Amino acid sequence: MALDTSIIAGGWLAAGLTIFLFSFLYKDNPFFKIAEHLYLGAGMGWLFQVSVTSVWIPKIWEPVSKGELLVIIPSVMGLLLLTQFIPKISWLSRYGFTFMMGYGSGLAIPAGLSTDFMSQIEGTIRPFSKLASMTPFSILSSLIVAAGTICVLFYFFFSVEHKGHLKKVSNVGIYFLMIYFGAAFGNTVMARFSLLYGRFDDLFTFSGASYFYATQAILAAMVIYFVIHWLVSGRKPASEEEAA
């Protein structure tokens, strides 16, 4: 099936940008830097358009158009942030920053208290309220969680010198931390590889005849570039190349 021209063009662009970024694995090169800077600009552009369509238009422009003038107060506080560029009056930006810090701090206390503090303690203790309905293995697991959490907390307790029994308990805490770090590391590795498979899958799609072999063409062009670059500058001594 013949594809729309815009889709083919998109395939070529996506394949090109993907290969440009992957080329860094061989060595730093201008194509990688172009793609890197494009990413920075595109990322900011995306966030800017999100900001315009989800904040500036619905939360500032539309209310003001309807005569709801209360939103002018945060808008002025926001505009004052831009005084950071004028050193003489940059102190005015404090009004915006202090509002953000005050609101953020006020919200962080109950949020941290309920989700990260109380609910974690609750999750550790709650299984012991239904021991009768639990299997011996579940009871053992709950005991391990409770003991492990206490040991980790002892490891982070710096008010007393870690020696004697306290040292032993905090050492056990390190093992639990290591298991968590290992598990988190394993998950991160798998998430990154899943992204990698996704990019390879896209490159495979763009290598088809319907995309006019975009992947192969761009890959061949990159290889030719690196060969020519190697022929031109590869024979120079390393120090000379670095100086250039």
Partner 1 sequence: MKLIKKQIPLAIVFITGVLTLISYYVPHKVSVDYIETMNKWENIVVAFAFLLGLISLFFSHYHKITRKADGWGYSIFVFIGFLAMVVPSYTSHGKQMVDGMLTPLGWSYKYIYTALSGTMFAVLAFYIVSTAYRSFRIKSAQAFVLFVAAFILILGKVPLGQIIWDYALGWTGQGVSAVIEWIMQVPAVAGKRGIMIGISIGAIVTSLKIIFGIEKQYMGKD
Q: Report the site for partner 1 in 159-198 (rule: CB under 8 A).
A: 173-190, 192-193, 195-196, 198
Q: Which of 117, 128, 204, 230 binds partner 1 (CB under 8 A)?
A: 117
Chain positions 199 to 228 lying near partner 1, rule: CB under 8 A, are 199, 202
Selected binder of partner 1 within 3, 29, 64, 90 (CB under 8 A)? 90
| Local structure of residue 86 (DSSP, 8 states) | S
Residue whose structure tokens are 């303690």: 121
Residue 212 to residue 223: CA distance in whole angstroms: 18
Helix (H, G, I), strand (E, B) or coil at 62: helix
Q: Check binding of 59 to partner 1 (CB under 8 A).
A: yes
The residue within the footprint of partner 1, chosen from 2, 5, 6, 88 (CB under 8 A), is 6
Single residue of 26, 61, 69, 112 touching partner 1 by CB under 8 A: 112
CA 243 and chain centroid, separation: 35
Is the CB of residue 214 less than 8 Å from the CB of residue 11?
yes
Which of 3, 29, 64, 75 is in the footprint of partner 1 by CB under 8 A?
A: 75
Residue 139 lies near partner 1 (rule: CB under 8 A): no
State which of residues 3, 64, 94, 162 lies at the interface with partner 1 (CB under 8 A): 94
Among 5, 65, 105, 133, binds partner 1 (CB under 8 A): 105
Which one, 203 or 235, has the nearer CB to partner 1? 203
DSSP string, 74-116: HHHHHHHHGGGGSGGGGGGGHHHHHHHHHHHHHHHHHHIIIII
User: How big is the site for partner 1, counted in residues (CB under 8 A)?
Assistant: 113
Asked whether the beta carbons of 22 and 213 are under 8 A apart, the reply is no
Q: How far apart are CA 127 and CA 183, in angstroms?
A: 23
Q: Which stretch, 115-123, 160-168, 208-216, 225-233, contacts partner 1 (CB under 8 A)?
A: 115-123
Instruction: Report the distance separating Cα 96 and Cα 109, nearest Å.
Output: 20
C-alpha distances in Å from residue 20, one per residue of 42, 168, 179: 16, 52, 37
Binding characters for partner 1, 18-57, by CB under 8 A (x = yes): x--xx-xx----x--xxxxxxxxxxxxxxxxx-xxx-xx-
- Minimum distance from residue 128 beta carbon to partner 1 (Å): 15
